[in-house]
């Protein structure tokens, strides 16, 4: 299971770096498609890993992640409705705030996910050491 988590985490990280590198080239629509792709991947990963976060003492961090995610998503939908009724500068400002927030939330998830992987690796290593002494 640890190997799958590492593949998941580093795959997200590589995709995120590629998206950031491609900003000047693909800024029109492809950047947002990439951001949507990595965002969906990360949400699915967070859903499947939330239980592990809760069991290993990272509950405060994962709950912050979900609170930030829900807040950013609500602001995004609020921006969408503002834009539908009155296309304005305020809608554009809120849109860019949500995009920046999504990137910050993604970086936060990677940070806590890397720490979870390190913690599980260390715990597995210590479990192996204690079992070998018996």
- At 10-33, the pLDDT tens digits run 888 888 887 777 766 766 666 777
For residues 89-122, one letter each, b for 16 or more C-beta atoms within 10 angstroms of the residue's C-beta and e for the rest, the string is: eebeebbeebbebbbebbeebbebbeebbeebee
Calculate mean pLDDT across residues 32-39: 81
Can you give the pLDDT at residue 29? 66
For residues 83 and 92, give the distance between their C-alpha atoms in angstroms, rounded to a whole number: 8
Strands (DSSP E) contained in 1-134 are none
Instruction: Encode pLDDT of 92-121 as tens digits.
Output: 888 889 988 998 998 999 999 999 999 988
């Amino acid at each position: 299971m640890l190997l799958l988590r590492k593949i998941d985490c580093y795959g997200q990280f590589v995709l995120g770096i590629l998206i950031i590198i491609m900003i000047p080239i693909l800024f029109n629509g492809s950047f947002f498609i990439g951001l949507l792709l990595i965002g969906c991947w990360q949400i699915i990963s967070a859903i499947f890993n939330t239980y592990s976060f809760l069991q290993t003492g990272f509950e405060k961090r994962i709950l912050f992640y979900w609170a930030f995610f829900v807040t950013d998503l609500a602001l995004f939908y609020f921006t969408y409705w503002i834009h539908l009724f009155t296309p304005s500068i305020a809608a554009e400002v809120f849109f860019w705030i949500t995009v920046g927030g999504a990137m910050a939330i993604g970086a936060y998830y990677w940070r806590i996910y890397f720490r979870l992987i390190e913690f599980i690796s260390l715990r597995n290593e210590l479990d192996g050491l204690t079992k070998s002494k018996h």
